[in-house]
């Protein structure tokens, strides 16, 4: 599979996840904006410390909460269109470095988490009150971790295995995406345009969770999972008809995604177009399979040969669909027009003939100029509940790739980066494993007969 430099970074940093919380299947987009109290903690070990601790400490608040475009807070604010962001849990924006009574060697992330939380308790910082999200950064030199980042799916924990002096958004955003309940997003090749015959192949490149880097934001099914599309924006299609889509990450109101029943699964259709910080290199109508209603585990349906990534020189619309058919579930989708910030998409259900579907899109105002801000659309993001979560300890009942089902009481593991054979999380039938390998596992599970 071709993976772009950005994709490699994102995947190489990505990683695993422990299911430690319970998250609503999809949050409600009309609730109040979520400001998640996030606590970055710098930790060191008996056998290793940051080479430049002052620089790491000085830069951390800006990396997470700064006003710059590529801070974690700015990224989520823009992506959710004001529904969700991270805010500092402590005034200084960071705690540490704290020396943990353990060695780095062995990359015991559970012990790192446990000892860090014990130290925070000593400092009077209580999870669920003083902070809702714990993000631990430690020096990479001696740890030997097979990943650059790790995140619970969904849940409140991230681990950053730092090389250098600052975390970057490709890693940080990806791990916090896991916290929102998002697994890795793969690609399913359906060469003849019929969804009954598809082959897993690589990553979607349409999401930060699928090798697309931060510039891809996240895809429509993931936006639904996060609770960042209202019912008016993600329209459940119950009968044949024609719909006007506006761009997924653009400003303004209107339908941004079609959510179509497809047997036990869902078929989600989106329109992508450059907007704000996102989709400068993604254009056109794309389709995703959502297995059994798990919007955090979707895969791109690719009926083309281009296999566009965020790094190759395929055109921005190389993976866009013009039509797809699912004979098994008697669904047909055809794109009537696409471009300049809007698309017309016709959907035929129950085996109806596409040509018989009335071409009468509901009246929709012309899209507003495309730019994305952070001040619009009050709403709610998915806020992982931290009450009742299990301590992140031990590897456990990993239920499979991105199967971050809400009822998971065990731990859900997802790892990216490095050699999957060395991943601690790969044991126990781990789901999302690292980088390429992990994604392949993920895709194979999603392959349909």
Taking Cα atoms as reference points, which of 64, 54, 27, 49 lies closest to residue 158?
64
Least separation in angstroms between residue 209's CB and Zn ion is 7
Least separation in angstroms between residue 398's CB and Zn ion is 14
Least separation in angstroms between residue 51's CB and Zn ion is 26
Nearer to Zn ion, 219 or 416 (CB): 416
Where does this chain touch Zn ion (CB under 5 A) — which range of 10-18, 121-129, 273-281, 418-426?
10-18
Is residue 18 part of the contact set for Zn ion (CB under 5 A)?
Answer: no
Nearer to Zn ion, 277 or 416 (CB): 416
Residue appearing with tokens 């254009």: 283
Site map (CB under 5 A) of Zn ion, residues 361-400, x = contact? ----------------------------------------
Please, what sign has the CA dihedral across residues 354, 359, 365, 370? Answer: positive
Taking Cα atoms as reference points, which of 10, 131, 164, 127 lies closest to residue 388?
127
- Residue 337: helix, strand or coil by DSSP? strand
Is residue 93 part of the contact set for Zn ion (CB under 5 A)?
Answer: no
# of chain residues touching Zn ion (CB under 5 A): 3
Q: Which residue in the shown chain puts its C-beta closest to Zn ion?
A: 14
Nearer to Zn ion, 14 or 241 (CB): 14
Pairing of strands 299-302, 186-189: parallel
Nearer to Zn ion, 283 or 411 (CB): 411
Backbone torsion region of residue 330, taken as left when φ is above 0, otherwise alpha when ψ lies between -120 and 50, otherwise beta: left
- Residue 362: helix, strand or coil by DSSP? coil
Least separation in angstroms between residue 432's CB and Zn ion is 6
Residues linked to residue 43 through DSSP beta bridges, in sequence order:
98
Residue appearing with tokens 């940051």: 50
Nearer to Zn ion, 219 or 372 (CB): 219
Taking Cα atoms as reference points, which of 151, 219, 228, 175 lies closest to residue 63?
175
Where does this chain touch Zn ion (CB under 5 A) — which range of 15-23, 98-106, 370-378, 423-431?
15-23
Rounded to 5°, the CA angle 288-291-295 comes to 70
Nearer to Zn ion, 4 or 338 (CB): 4
Number of neighbours of residue 422 by Cβ within 10 angstroms: 14
- Contact between residue 131 and residue 39 where contact means Cβ atoms under 8 Å apart: yes
Nearer to Zn ion, 15 or 89 (CB): 15
Nearer to Zn ion, 15 or 401 (CB): 15
Where does this chain touch Zn ion (CB under 5 A) — which range of 9-17, 109-117, 278-286, 290-298?
9-17
Name 11's Cβ contacts closer than 8 Å, sequence gap at least 6.
3, 184, 203, 211, 416, 417, 434, 435, 436, 438, 439
Pairing of strands 234-236, 199-203: unpaired
Choosing from 4, 7, 12, 14, the residue that interacts with Zn ion (CB under 5 A) is: 14
- Contact between residue 414 and residue 16 where contact means Cβ atoms under 8 Å apart: yes
Least separation in angstroms between residue 152's CB and Zn ion is 11
Site map (CB under 5 A) of Zn ion, residues 397-416, x = contact? -------------------x
Nearer to Zn ion, 167 or 416 (CB): 416
Nearer to Zn ion, 12 or 257 (CB): 12
Is residue 15 part of the contact set for Zn ion (CB under 5 A)?
Answer: yes
Least separation in angstroms between residue 18's CB and Zn ion is 13
Nearer to Zn ion, 14 or 254 (CB): 14
Is residue 10 part of the contact set for Zn ion (CB under 5 A)?
Answer: no
Least separation in angstroms between residue 231's CB and Zn ion is 29
How far is Cα 127 from Cα 119, in angstroms, rounded to an integer? 12
Q: Report helix, strand and coil shares of the chain as percent, to nearest 5.
A: 20, 25, 55
Is residue 431 part of the contact set for Zn ion (CB under 5 A)?
Answer: no
Least separation in angstroms between residue 208's CB and Zn ion is 9
Pairing of strands 342-348, 241-246: antiparallel
Where does this chain touch Zn ion (CB under 5 A) — which range of 13-21, 29-37, 54-62, 217-225?
13-21
How far is Cα 192 from Cα 325, in angstroms, rounded to an integer? 9
- Tokens representing 238 are 């119950």
Least separation in angstroms between residue 433's CB and Zn ion is 9
- Tokens representing 415 are 């790892």
Sites of contact with Zn ion (CB under 5 A): 14-15, 416
């Amino acid at each position: 599979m071709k993976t772009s430099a950005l994709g490699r970074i994102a995947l190489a940093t990505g990683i695993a996840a422990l299911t430690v919380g319970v998250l609503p299947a999809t949050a409600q987009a009309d609730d109040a904006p979520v400001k998640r109290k996030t606590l970055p903690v710098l930790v060191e070990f008996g056998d290793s410390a940051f080479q430049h601790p002052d620089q790491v400490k000085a830069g951390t608040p800006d990396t997470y909460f700064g006003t710059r475009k590529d801070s974690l807070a700015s990224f989520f604010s823009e992506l959710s269109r004001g529904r969700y962001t991270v805010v500092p849990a402590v005034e200084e924006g960071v705690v540490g470095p704290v020396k943990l009574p353990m060695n780095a060697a062995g990359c015991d992330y559970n012990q790192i988490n446990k000892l860090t939380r014990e130290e925070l308790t000593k400092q009077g910082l209580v999870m669920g009150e003083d902070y809702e999200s714990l993000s631990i950064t430690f020096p990479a030199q001696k740890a030997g971790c097979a990943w650059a980042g790790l995140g619970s799916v969904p849940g409140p924990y991230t681990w950053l295995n730092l090389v250098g002096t600052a975390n970057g958004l490709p890693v940080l955003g990806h791990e916090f995406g896991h916290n929102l309940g998002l697994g890795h997003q793969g690609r399913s090749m359906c060469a003849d345009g019929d969804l009954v015959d598809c082959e897993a192949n690589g990553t979607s490149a349409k999401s930060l969770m699928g090798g697309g880097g931060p510039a891809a934001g996240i895809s429509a099914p993931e936006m639904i999972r996060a609770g960042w599309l209202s019912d008016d924006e993600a329209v459940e299609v119950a009968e044949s008809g024609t719909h006007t889509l506006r761009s997924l990450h653009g400003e303004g109101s209107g339908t941004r995604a079609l959510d179509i029943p497809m047997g036990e699964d869902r078929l989600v259709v989106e329109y992508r177009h450059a907007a704000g910080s996102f989709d400068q290199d993604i254009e056109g109508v794309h389709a995703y399979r959502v297995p059994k209603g798990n919007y955090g585990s979707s895969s791109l349906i690719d009926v083309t040969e281009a296999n566009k990534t965020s790094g190759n020189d395929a055109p921005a619309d190389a993976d866009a669909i013009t039509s797809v058919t699912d004979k098994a579930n008697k669904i047909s989708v055809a794109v009537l027009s696409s471009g300049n910030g809007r698309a017309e998409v016709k959907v035929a259900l129950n085996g109806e003939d596409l040509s018989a579907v009335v071409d009468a899109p509901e009246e929709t105002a012309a899209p507003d100029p495309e730019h994305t801000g952070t001040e619009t659309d009050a709403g709610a993001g998915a806020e992982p509940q931290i009450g009742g979560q299990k301590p992140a300890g031990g590897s456990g009942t990993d239920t499979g790739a991105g199967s971050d089902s809400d009822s998971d009481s065990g731990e859900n593991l997802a790892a990216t980066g490095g050699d999957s054979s060395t991943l601690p999380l790969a044991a126990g039938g781990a789901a999302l494993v690292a980088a390429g390998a992990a994604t392949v596992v993920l895709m194979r599970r999603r392959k349909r007969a």
